[in-house]
Structure 1
Amino acid sequence: MSISVVVLGDKESIVREIESYQGELIVTRVCSETAEAIAACLTAIADVLLIADAQQVPPMEQIEELMGNGTAVVYLLENSTELSPLPDVLQLPVDIAMSDLEERITATVHSLKIPESSPIDDQRSAGKSEPSTQGKIVCFWSAPGSPGRSTLALNYAVEAAATGKSVVLLDADTYAASISIQLGLMDESASVAQICRIMDSGSTDINRLNAACSLVQVGDTTVRVGTGIPRSSRWPEVRASALRRAALVFREHYDLVVLDIAPHIAMDEQLSFDTQAPQRNAVTVEVLRCSDEIFMVVQSDSIGIPRAIRAIDELEENHPELRPKIIFNRVSVSSSGRSPKRRLSEAWDRFGPMHDVVGFLPNDSAVCSASVLAGSPLLEIAPKSSLRTEIRSLAGIKSTDLPKNRITRRFSKSA
């Protein structure tokens, strides 16, 4: 079996060595520019990108794109000082024997071509096999509209933290980020954009990721918050593969990683650029794929339910392996009629997809408005509200009254 290789860098000696060895490796193209090499690999579906120039290492986003298309990435080092943390990239010394080079490359190519195997699946399998060292990634998703997704994500994270869990909350909505507003944080720096830049640099240092987030005290507990982009025009700064890798790193150090994501999952048409065009909805798709638990928030009225059914149909068509759990939000007699829970269950059983309904949250608009106005979660603003009780139940927490003394919150940028 022959293995096609695209060489990046003006290293004629390496090309001559590969060709003179007459093994399974076949050099199909030599490129002097990174964009040219990436395009060659994606269009010609090369087996290997061999990087022979330390100055032309592609960013992690493009490396993941290549590996996602089945192209292995190999980096030849002139000396050990060039070693950089590039996850999933095979790094070898430039003076390696050709027999060893071919053996290592062949093994890497075969590992990428194993059916139904991907870095995401490997990470999730590792998380399941080592529950004691892995946390849990939970995302809140919905159909287009405003069913209260961000409010539930925020309060779910706060309630989990109140039980003693270490929690990080990431606002990954590329259309209308709102977590910082709901917490009264005026953060124009966009923590998720900083997190993506850290991951694209090749670093997996949890201290650097923590420093990019804000540490928010709520009651007598704290939640680490990665604020979203303040303007939707900045969505290209939130890169899907980088944010997914960051979530997996956070999962290794936190009990719970909660993500608030945008509703749209339709990917843009692939245009004929030198490299793949940016995808605004890719963050939502990547987060859904790497999550351990997906909550879909459905607004309980005649508009929200049809929207949710269409959104799930689209999800099942493109990602049938994903199984979201349904939360009916803003349940009330005025929107659903008498016995709203029973009516919603009957309607969902009749028209809705086969997904479990795990919660019916009451329509408490007065409490939610007061929460947003005060920049505080329900734990602080309405600790005995029925909505908070249902959210705690959703998180698997038994309802208990909080201490009467309210603790003032303080916000700090973690060092």
Structure 2
Amino acid sequence: MSISVVLLGEQESMVRQIESYQGELIVTRVCSEIAEAVAACLTAGAEVLLIADAQQVPLMEQVDELLSQGTAVVYLLDGSAAISPMPEVLQLPADIAMSDLEQRITATVRSLKLPEGSPERDDRETADLEPRDKGRIVSFWSAPGSPGRSTVALNFAVEAAAAGRSVVLLDADTYAASISIQLGLMDESASVAQICRIMDSGSADISRLNAACSLVQVGDTTIRVGTGIPRSSRWPEVRPSALRRATLAFKDHYDLVVLDVAPHIALDEQLSFDTQAPQRNAVTVEMLGCSDDIFMVVQSDSVGIPRALRAIDELEESHADLQPKIIFNRVSVSRSGRSPKRRLIEAWDRFGPMHDVVGFLPNDSAVCSASVLAGSPLLEIAPRSSLRMEIRSLAGIKSSNLPKKRVSRRFSKSA
């Protein structure tokens, strides 16, 4: 087995070392410019881009493009080089022995050829990481329409934070971001766009990611909120792979990362372009793919349920490994008839796919309207409402120690 290598950087000594070692690595081209090296890898299908010059650092967008086609990216760094650690990129000391270099590169190339999500690939990707407790990523998804997904996601995050967990809430809805409005944050800076720019710069510094978010006080606790894109024309600023890396970085430092994602998952935007183009729906697909739990919010009426069934069919056709958990929202006698929970379960068992139903949220339009009007979550505007109790239960929190009075909030941009 031979591994084709494109070398970036005029390092004749490295070429001589690889050739004299006579192992599996074969240098097919030496490039002095980043654009030349990336183009050589993409057109010739090279298996490895070996970067021997610390001054030649490709953009993360270029790195993602190489990784997507199965080209491993390897940095050889000397002791003085200062490059932020980047996930999915192999970084090795410049004085590494050729036997170790070939072994590490071979293992990386083989791991890229394994199917996404396979246990072997996951083991290789985490082999060099120090053992540590990580948080969980929870996504809230729905069929097209307005089933109340953002309201549920927001209050789920608030209840988890009130229970003592450290929480980050990211509005990844590229069609109709609304978390900032529901919290009274009239800020058009779009935190998720700033977060993606930080990741694209090659940095995964959690302090910079925190600074891009708004720190929101809710009751006696706080949550970090990454506000979404307020204008649809700006959605190409959110690169799916960059947001995925940022989400995983938050997961390393927080107990819970809550995502509010758009309903659409069809990746058909590239049909309108002759070259690679940003894909709006790819954000949803990436976020669902990296989630530990996926909650699908379903509006419990004759319109919402058929929409949900069609959305799940579409999800299973393209991403059969994703298993959303069902939450019926706006449950009421007027929408579902007498004994609404029983009727919904019967209808889902008869027509729905084999996905667990984990929650029934009551229809409380008056409370929800008051919450939006005040720019406050249910914990503050209606702490004893039945809707809040159900969301607390959904988050695994017992309905005890409820606040006796409303506590005011203040918003601040984190330092």
**Fold shared, TM-score > 0.5 on shorter chain:** yes
The equivalent of 2:307 in structure 1 is 307
Structure 1 residues 255, 150: closer, same or farther in 2, change over 3 A? same
Identify if the C-alpha distance between structure 1 residues 408 and 84 changes in structure 2 by more than 3 Å, giving closer, same or farther: closer
Runs (5+) with no aligned partner, structure 1: none
Match of 1:59 in 2: 59
CA positional deviation for 1:23: 3.5
Task: Report deviation, 1:43.
Answer: 4.5
**Two-structure CA RMSD over aligned residues (Å):** 3.0
C-alpha spacing 1:93/1:135, structure 2 compared with 1 (3 Å): closer
**How many Å separate the matches in 1 of 2:10 and 2:119?**
31
Counterpart-to-counterpart distance in 1, 2:99 and 2:186: 58
Whether the aligned pair in 2 keeps the contact of 1:300 and 1:335 (CA below 8 Å) is: yes
Q: How does 1:14-413 map to 2 (within 5 A)?
A: 14-15=14-15, 18-19=18-19, 22-31=22-31, 33-77=33-77, 80-92=80-92, 98-115=98-115, 122=122, 133-268=133-268, 270=270, 276-400=276-400, 402-413=402-413
**Superposed displacement of residue 95, structure 1:** 6.1
Whole-Å Cα distance in 2 between the matches of residues 296 and 233 of structure 1?
27
Question: Over residues 331-390 of structure 1, what are the superposed CA-to-partner deviations in whole Å (9 max), with x where a residue is unaligned?
Answer: 122222222212211111111111011111111111111110110111111112111111
Distance 1:23 1:250, change over 3 A: same
Q: Compute the displacement of 1:292 (Å).
A: 0.9
- CA–CA separation in structure 1 for the residues paired with 2:146 and 2:224: 24
Contact 1:216 1:225 in 2 (8 A): yes
Q: Distance in 1 between matches of 2:237 and 2:67?
A: 21
**3-state SS in 2 of match to 1:81:** coil
SS of residue in 2 equivalent to 1:398:
coil
Q: What whole-Å deviation, never above 9, does each CA across 1:138-191 have from its counterpart, x for those lacking one? A: 110001111100000000111111111111111111111110000000111111
* Matched letter for residue 166 of structure 2: S
The answer (yes or no) to whether the contact 1:171–1:192 under 8 Å persists in 2 is: yes
Is the contact between residue 86 and residue 204 of structure 2 (CA under 8 Å) also seen in structure 1? no
Change (3 A) 1:36 1:316: farther
CA pair 57-93 structure 1, distance change in 2 beyond 3 A: same
The DSSP-based 3-state class of the residue aligned with 2:158 is helix
Cα deviation, residue 79, structure 1? 6.2
d(CA) in 1 for partners of 2:59, 2:282: 17
The percent identity for this pair of structures is: 83
If the length of structure 2 is used for normalisation, what is the TM-score?
A: 0.90
- Counterpart of 1:258, as a letter, is V
Hey, what's the Cα distance between the residues in 2 that align with 1:283 and 1:5?
31
Aligned residues: 414
| Residues in 2 aligned to 1:293 and 1:54: alpha-carbon distance in whole angstroms | 39
Deviations 1:302-357 (A, max 9, x none): 22111111111111111111110001111122222222212211111111111011
Separation in structure 2 between the aligned mates of residue 33 and residue 306 of structure 1, nearest angstrom:
54
